Amino acid sequence: MSHRASAASPTLHGQLLRALAAIFTLAIVGVFVGQWLGTRAFVQAQLASHAQDAATSLALVLGQTWKEGDVVTARGVALPVFDRGYYRRIAIRDARGALVVELRLAEDEAVDVPRWFAKLAALRTPRAQAKVSSGWRMLGHVEVESHPRFAYVQLWNGSLQTAGWLIALWGLAWWGASRWLRTLLAPLAEVAAASIDASQRRFRLVQVQPRAQELQRFVAGFNQLVTATQRNVAEEEARAEQFRREALSDALTGMANRRALNLVLAERRHEADLWLALIECRGVEVVNRAAGFSAGDALIRELAADVAEVFTDGRHARIGAATFAVLMSAEDAVVPEGLSLSLLTRFDTRLAADGGRLVDAAIGWTPVNAREPSEVLAAADLALQQARSQAGRHCRVDALASELVSSLANETAEVSGGGRWAVLLREALAHDRLVLMLQPVMALDAGQMDQVLHREVLTRVLDAQGREVEAARWWPMASRFGLLRELDEQVISLLAREPVDLDAPPYAINLSFASWSRDDIGERLELWRLRLGDHAVLFELREDDLAHHRDAARNFARAARMVGFGVGIDRFGVSDGGLAMLRDMLPDYVKLDASLAEDIEHDAGRFLVEAIVRVARMLEVPVLAHSFGRRDAAAALARLGVQGAQGYALGPPQPVQPAG
């Protein structure tokens, strides 16, 4: 809005240029008038002296040749001079003043310049006279009146030429001044642009180096402010990043920790062919006792390195003293089994080379198969215990292999169920079997309790039996079969059918990466805008998608805002680079990953939330969260600076009113 105001009010460049133009104009008019008056005076003087010269020379000639009463001689002397055309009147009088000869042009003789010009110039026709004398005797006198015709022409041509030059000069000066001002004010324009950016929380340095001292200081001051702000934001961001890392990673090995493993499991558990292994190494405590904790730590790091090297394609975590977890995709048991054997062999060689250290390792695998994280971990633990009991007789490979096979046998049926999901989703799309629910996100600020910030659109798919399937279940499948784009379109179409209520809080629609990263997203957004009409809509993007496609994300955010959509980041605070996106995209809000809100009773979790809130607050981005349990859980979030929350206790999802 400040933008628009500044566009309407005149620019400094324009004002200065107008002032300069006015000064040029005045100066040039002044020069012209001066020049004109000067030329006019000169022409007038010329006319006068011309008349006098003619009179004097006629008088001289007459003084030598003229006798009293000799009209013929007088006329003969005057006529050639008169016929040159420069004189309006030549008269010769005798000593008593009686007219002897008078030659006169008609009064109304046309002048060769515009009438108004002649009127304006109003040249006087000078009269000159000279006495005609012969010796002491006065014979009479000659009167000469100049004709101003040629003077007018001279004045007219001179004026035209002067005006031409002055106008050309004016144009040149205007052009020069305009260019000069542009150069002079370029830094100012740059600073103005940077200020507008800063007001939109995009802090950037002004790169131009102005020549004017005042501007230099101004730019230096501005840049100092920007640098300080940038540094503060960067520091807070680094701190939050640090907390995030600490909260989600293991300090000793740098691997993911148990919390992070839970996040990943929750996130990916619906993937098919996903396996979880627990790897437990016993005997580290013996090393601790015998050689000290640093030796024990060194051993754990070596073991962790082995795990990471063997399972290069998997996600690794350290979840106990010497217990690791590996999550990887494999179509059957052969690859995990082979890799497990090579890991155990590696462990053996490492320990054998080391001599004294007796460490006993076991590995238990279980397929994830869409179970809750705790359930999967329990199953993997069970597999581990079985492996250990079977491998008790120095035969670790056997125990592992047999356990793997047995656990596989139980799970295979569920894993291969992907095909059914594809059918279910396609059917639902084809027959409009989607149900939209709205869950309110409530303001947590003391002043605006019970205010609904926006309503998240939750999509449920109906299966053949008409049962509602939650997004957490169908989403990974839709992603796998490439149906997310169509689902997003469907959701928007359904919402578009809703009657518009201008006072209602905006909808927040989850938008998949497949949708927002498409090349024609700009046209798509315009189409959605047309379809959604006056509905206020925010699009929620997932942080883990954003972090790896920052350019596409920025592009989307810009295009969305251009057509009046808001942009939020969902599942915020757990992915690498997410915090940087905060600064990059300046979303309308961020919604913390559910695991973070769950975790705030622990220091690490609370610190992370606090740190995120600090960064976000500097950039004036509201932080929202999921609230679990009773309403007082939301109060705890509010104390950390979270500005809004959604949860069952705050407001359960409600079906969208069917249209009509």
Partner 1 sequence: MNPPRILMTLGLAMWAWGAQAYLAEASQRLVQAMSQRFGPAAGERVLAWQRAARNLPAATDPALIERSNALANRVPYAEDINAWHVDEHWATPAEFVARNAGDCEDYTIAKYFSLRERGVAADKLRIVYVRAKLRDRIDNHMVLAYYPQPEADPLVLDNLDPRLLPASQRQDLSPVFSFNDEHLWRDGQATAGGASQVRRWRELQERVRREQSL
Angle at 327 between CA 288 and CA 406, to 5 degrees: 95
CA distances from 645 to 31, 589, 596 (A): 75, 12, 13
Q: Which is nearer to partner 1, 80 or 135 (CB)?
A: 135
Any idea which residue has 């098919």 for tokens? 272
Q: Which is nearer to partner 1, 51 or 304 (CB)?
A: 51
Q: Which is nearer to partner 1, 147 or 346 (CB)?
A: 147
Tell the smallest beta-carbon distance from residue 16 to partner 1 (Å).
Answer: 41
Q: Are 299 and 284 in contact (CB under 8 A)?
A: yes
Q: Which is nearer to partner 1, 52 or 451 (CB)?
A: 52
Q: Are 508 and 457 in contact (CB under 8 A)?
A: yes
Tell the smallest beta-carbon distance from residue 151 to partner 1 (Å).
Answer: 14
Closest CA to 463 of 494, 439, 429, 497: 429
Q: Which two tokens stand for residue 75?
A: 């006329």
Q: Which is nearer to partner 1, 128 or 310 (CB)?
A: 128
Tell the smallest beta-carbon distance from residue 180 to partner 1 (Å).
Answer: 43
Q: Which is nearer to partner 1, 57 or 232 (CB)?
A: 57
Tell the smallest beta-carbon distance from residue 96 to partner 1 (Å).
Answer: 6
Tell the smallest beta-carbon distance from residue 69 to partner 1 (Å).
Answer: 12
Q: Which is nearer to partner 1, 131 or 554 (CB)?
A: 131
Tell the smallest beta-carbon distance from residue 106 to partner 1 (Å).
Answer: 22
Tell the smallest beta-carbon distance from residue 138 to partner 1 (Å).
Answer: 5
Separation CA 214–CA 297 (nearest Å): 61
Q: Which is nearer to partner 1, 55 or 532 (CB)?
A: 55
Separation CA 457–CA 508 (nearest Å): 6
Tell the smallest beta-carbon distance from residue 2 to partner 1 (Å).
Answer: 58
Closest CA to 601 of 623, 632, 643: 632
Tell the smallest beta-carbon distance from residue 166 to partner 1 (Å).
Answer: 27
Q: Are 514 and 537 in contact (CB under 8 A)?
A: no
Q: Which is nearer to partner 1, 97 or 660 (CB)?
A: 97
Q: Which is nearer to partner 1, 63 or 440 (CB)?
A: 63
Strands 452-462 and 507-510: parallel
What values do phi and psi take at 452, rounded to 5? Answer: -90, 120
Q: Are 419 and 638 in contact (CB under 8 A)?
A: no
Q: Which is nearer to partner 1, 20 or 95 (CB)?
A: 95
* Burial per residue of 249-280, b for 16 or more beta-carbon CB atoms within 10 angstroms, e otherwise: bbeebebbbbbbbbbbbbbebbbbebbbbbbb
Q: Which residues pair with 645 in a beta bridge?
A: 442, 625
Tell the smallest beta-carbon distance from residue 60 to partner 1 (Å).
Answer: 10
Q: Which two tokens stand for residue 331?
A: 């179509």
Q: Are 367 and 266 in contact (CB under 8 A)?
A: no
Tell the smallest beta-carbon distance from residue 136 to partner 1 (Å).
Answer: 4
What values do phi and psi take at 363, rounded to 5? Answer: -130, 135
**Helices marked H in 458-516 — which ranges?**
471-480, 484-496, 513-516
Helix 396-415, helix 373-390: angle, nearest 10: 150
Cα torsion through 512, 516, 517, 520, rounded to 10: 140
Tell the smallest beta-carbon distance from residue 114 to partner 1 (Å).
Answer: 22
What residues make contact with partner 1 under the rule CB under 8 A? 45, 48-49, 51-53, 55-56, 94-97, 126-131, 133, 135-139
Q: Write the single-letter amino acid at 58.
A: L
Q: Which is nearer to partner 1, 131 or 282 (CB)?
A: 131
Dmax (CA) for the chain in angstroms is 167
Within 10 A of 494 (CB to CB), how many other CB atoms are there? 18
Question: Going by C-beta distance under 8 Å and a sequence separation of 6 or more, which residues neighbour residue 111?
Answer: 118, 148, 149, 152
Tell the smallest beta-carbon distance from residue 55 to partner 1 (Å).
Answer: 7
What values do phi and psi take at 462, rounded to 5? Answer: -95, 130
Q: Which is nearer to partner 1, 6 or 49 (CB)?
A: 49
